[in-house]
Structure 1
């Protein structure tokens, strides 16, 4: 008897066999995991995910279903789903019974990515507290502002932040600063406690009672988080997110991977029997991507999350090999640092199946580099803001290869449009400000009605980003509206020049900034991080760009650096800092 032939993978067509609209219609039809229905959200009709959880509490209660499977790995600490559920539930009871935390109270987290972060977050979220993840890169003045602005009553912090916050905690009426992994508590009049004293030591989590958190009624429109925006100009604004915002985002995470398979006639995965995956988180949990997409997405799928003390490409490669990481990413610069690492070939990266990034423009050359070094993986990017609770568009796999300059079409529950300066919708292909509408758009800015009125119009979020949308609905982000250069009356989109620079083999990272000119208004300048050992010169790069772009777009000044460019915690290049360094402001 002859052996049965192994099932073959269908040949990939050179062009999609299905439109985006048809794929979305099929994916969101009744009975599918992505089924869409209509609901009234804050008085507005919106498409919503039918299968989304109603609250973070519902999402959290799933944790114990994954039993002894690993949830979080940090250095040599390993936390199973069962241990996580016991620890967060026990902490939730402490918050209610000993600290008086009730639904609607603000509870802040100001710490690095430690295992205590998700425990504290879901302990508070499960009893209806509004969780306030604060930027752990902030100065004391900024932390004080965030705590006072949000009206926080209780803070979870790491040792470094606990020392800072203790100096003003009493003035702000903070009941306690609960410090995780602090070697020494600050000498302060404020109440500061060790996390392990409030809960227990890490090794004792398994001995905690098997219980649910205290009962509380939560509905999709209840407030859930206050996530502070980057604050590149003025004071940061607290984006008030709802239970629906976050839980809906978890469902939408799978749209792009499935859609590209449908459109290119490839078999769909057996979701019910998919093996557990392992992800390396390289962005902070106080970032919308880190919290909404990665942490909540990992919990929803029962996967494993590997944390790092801080981003380091060498350490990332070590963890990819040690933990058999299936996916990693962050902002594009982080991926570039891994793929351009001088010792890349010495590490086993064969476990990697997917690389995703966002939060900053990605050069089209990056996807080609990923294809070469990770032939079995799928690259993906997306677009979103703090105000859209992570991604509102996604581009992955074969679609991304076909359109690497795009961040993909809007997810099926979102509407997008490009408008002129008066808010009028522009025709397909024209450049204007991108507006976004959907159940992922946050409720408002906390205690800032004027800023809310300026940014939200009848449910539409004004992104502040310049974009165009093609005939298939794919979005192309061209620049921040305020960062676009105008040279002699000609618009210069920074991302276009940055992409040209990225395509040079010696360029790892690039930022284009405007140089004031009394006649032309502005000229183009650039700051470049070059690859290790590079001998490229300013003139070499100017000649290179001139081959790809019009002469008025060629930088008149290029500064070459070997160190990474300055970025905020969300991964965005701090162009204001670069302008300051150049003496432009």
Structure 2
């Protein structure tokens, strides 16, 4: 399919000119076809070590803000280099060995992750929401040589670390340590002039193992090479440049962005925002856990220019700002990802703030190493049901039952191919073979392409087939979100003896709302066919269960749906 640019201008001719200026031979985002098939960027870093080494030039510019602490780029790079040298020279670790990182969002998380990259190790960020048994599965699977953990995660990991003979470095803890563990705070002060260790890192070497969210089964370790992660680092730079040109602004001009980072660092959506900030010398303001009131306070205190989070938290932020009379004056961009964004998010943002705050949405998976499709600005406002257009190194196919490419306007499975795709699943050839076909990754999402823009219709497994009629849950959820009393909604299928399945919904309503289930059913019926109207609606004022990436855990909701409203 043609590589249309995610510009903030919806004019096709303008889009084509912007794409040509950025991707032509010799341009910053020119692409070439790799020998093994995918498109790759012709210029730019080939490993994450090359990428991070350029950040030392930002020196004393603030990189990470956590509470009252600010860590500059210079301090960060010195600390990461020092830890990398300890991993290689003191611990004797060698390129290719795995380094688990398990911490809440903090400057130390970034120091640990990038130390692993500078040492040539394979970084394995683990989900801090996991239980001890879930951690045990991942540790048994990836067999790490070192664990870089904070005090909060230590009790869930220490036993496995000792049993596996792995080294253990503990951050942000004053408690007693298990035998053989080292406290990061006790290590020698970083030498600001010391270089990273001299190790050979090739583009084809493994860089990360990131475990899938596991909403439908055991998490699998998606393995990305350095070349894939380097492509993931360039993707948001391209999107930022296209956005700037679409607004008539020269890319790279103006002050560096200040981003409120609410994604947990172990999730690929966080990597997209992280890479964008690091490439521009931007600042990340960190939150250890989500709190909407604290988010507003941090935005005011640090003059935050960009918000990065799942749609659910973005909607909460806009609602709380309205209640508090906070105009979000410093905000220039509202970036969402990690889960499907309801179309009314853009409408709410525009109604309150006009075109001053640029909306951004995108699409990416663990298997794509972050966002590979993006929509923003006027194009996103004009097509709020779209997740945008692909980056220059991302190819899109809408596949039919036999894998054949379907024409524009037809719904099929979304397949992706490109530089940032993972090479497969760690030590799981069967799962890799199921998910990858001829270099294409089968996303499991139903999508449609119109005029180069991709709209994700639903997860294939979330499709409700009611008496032979297809009901896309995302479509019904979008209509529910459009009701003024609805804060969140999840639509799913429940068994029916005759129809096979019926449509059901769990809806979180606003605290002051008196809306009824029947009123919500009537609201849906005014926009959608009768067979799409939920037969069962359960109202709640509690947050819907979500995993760390923001996806609703529908398997937990199915048991709560009765046979009546």
Pick one of 427, 445, 470 that aligns with 1:465: 445
352-361 or 497-506: which moved more?
352-361
| Structure 1 contact 318–347 (Cα < 8 Å) conserved | no
Kindly report which structure 2 residues correspond to 1:353-432, keeping only aligned pairs within 5 A, or say none.
353-375=332-354, 376-432=356-412
Distance between the aligned counterparts of 1:159 and 1:560, measured in 2?
39
| CA distance 1:257–1:91, change in 2 (3 Å) | closer
Q: Is residue 205 of structure 2 the alignment partner of residue 222 of structure 1?
A: yes
Pick one of 260, 264, 278 that aligns with 1:280: 260
Q: Which residue of 2 aligns with 1:32?
A: 27
| Structure 1 contact 419–432 (Cα < 8 Å) conserved | yes
Q: Is residue 145 of structure 2 the alignment partner of residue 165 of structure 1?
A: no
Q: Which residue of 1 aligns with 2:183?
A: 194
| CA distance 1:105–1:583, change in 2 (3 Å) | farther
Distance between the aligned counterparts of 2:76 and 2:186, measured in 1?
17
What is the CA distance between 1:30 and its match in structure 2? 2.6
Pick one of 308, 314, 317 that aligns with 1:329: 308
| CA distance 1:63–1:15, change in 2 (3 Å) | closer
Q: Is residue 194 of structure 2 the alignment partner of residue 211 of structure 1?
A: yes
- Give secondary structure in 2 for the equivalent of 1:340: helix
Pick one of 72, 84, 89 that aligns with 1:97: 89
Pick one of 411, 414, 423 that aligns with 1:443: 423
Pick one of 97, 106, 114 that aligns with 2:98: 106
Q: What are the Cα deviations for residues 147-205 of structure 1, in whole angstroms up to 9, with x where unaligned?
A: 110111111111121111112222222222x221123135x4x53332212355xxxx6
**Root-mean-square deviation over aligned CA pairs:** 1.9
Kindly report which structure 2 residues correspond to 1:12-411, keeping only aligned pairs within 5 A, or say none.
16=11, 18=13, 20-21=15-16, 23-40=18-35, 44-176=36-168, 178-185=169-176, 188=178, 190-200=179-189, 208-259=191-242, 266-271=247-252, 273-291=253-271, 293-341=272-320, 344-347=323-326, 349-375=328-354, 376-411=356-391
| Structure 2 contact 9–377 (Cα < 8 Å) conserved | no
Q: Which residue of 1 aligns with 2:498?
A: 519
Distance between the aligned counterparts of 1:342 and 1:385, measured in 2?
30
- Give secondary structure in 2 for the equivalent of 1:253: helix
Distance between the aligned counterparts of 2:171 and 2:323, measured in 1?
34
**Which ranges of structure 1 fall in alignment gaps of 5 or more residues?**
1-11
| CA distance 1:560–1:322, change in 2 (3 Å) | same
**Which ranges of structure 2 fall in alignment gaps of 5 or more residues?**
1-6
Q: What are the Cα deviations for residues 361-417 of structure 1, in whole angstroms up to 9, with x where unaligned?
A: 111111111123333110010111000011111111011011110001121211111
Distance between the aligned counterparts of 2:205 and 2:161, measured in 1?
27
Q: Which residue of 2 aligns with 1:551?
A: 530
What is the CA distance between 1:342 and its match in structure 2? 6.5
What is the CA distance between 1:583 and its match in structure 2? 7.5
Distance between the aligned counterparts of 2:188 and 2:127, measured in 1?
24
What is the CA distance between 1:13 and its match in structure 2? 12
Q: How many residues align?
A: 556
Distance between the aligned counterparts of 1:321 and 1:440, measured in 2?
35
234-243 or 252-261: which moved more?
252-261
- Give secondary structure in 2 for the equivalent of 1:146: helix
Distance between the aligned counterparts of 1:566 and 1:13, measured in 2?
34
Q: Is residue 496 of structure 2 the alignment partner of residue 530 of structure 1?
A: no
| CA distance 1:462–1:503, change in 2 (3 Å) | same
| CA distance 1:517–1:322, change in 2 (3 Å) | same
| Structure 1 contact 185–193 (Cα < 8 Å) conserved | no
Distance between the aligned counterparts of 1:21 and 1:217, measured in 2?
40
Q: What are the Cα deviations for residues 54-88 of structure 1, in whole angstroms up to 9, with x where unaligned?
A: 21111221222001110000001110111111111
Distance between the aligned counterparts of 2:529 and 2:265, measured in 1?
41
| Structure 1 contact 317–338 (Cα < 8 Å) conserved | yes
Distance between the aligned counterparts of 2:301 and 2:90, measured in 1?
41
| Structure 2 contact 237–279 (Cα < 8 Å) conserved | no
| CA distance 1:384–1:195, change in 2 (3 Å) | same
| Structure 2 contact 8–378 (Cα < 8 Å) conserved | no
What is the CA distance between 1:424 and its match in structure 2? 1.8
Q: Which residue of 1 aligns with 2:3?
A: none
Distance between the aligned counterparts of 2:308 and 2:8, measured in 1?
28
| CA distance 1:521–1:307, change in 2 (3 Å) | same
Q: TM-score, normalised by structure 2?
A: 0.95
| CA distance 1:580–1:538, change in 2 (3 Å) | same
| CA distance 1:209–1:13, change in 2 (3 Å) | closer
Distance between the aligned counterparts of 2:80 and 2:239, measured in 1?
32
Q: TM-score, normalised by structure 1?
A: 0.91
What is the CA distance between 1:579 and its match in structure 2? 1.3
Q: Which residue of 2 aligns with 1:8?
A: none
Higher RCO by CA contacts (8 Å cutoff, separation 6 or greater): 2
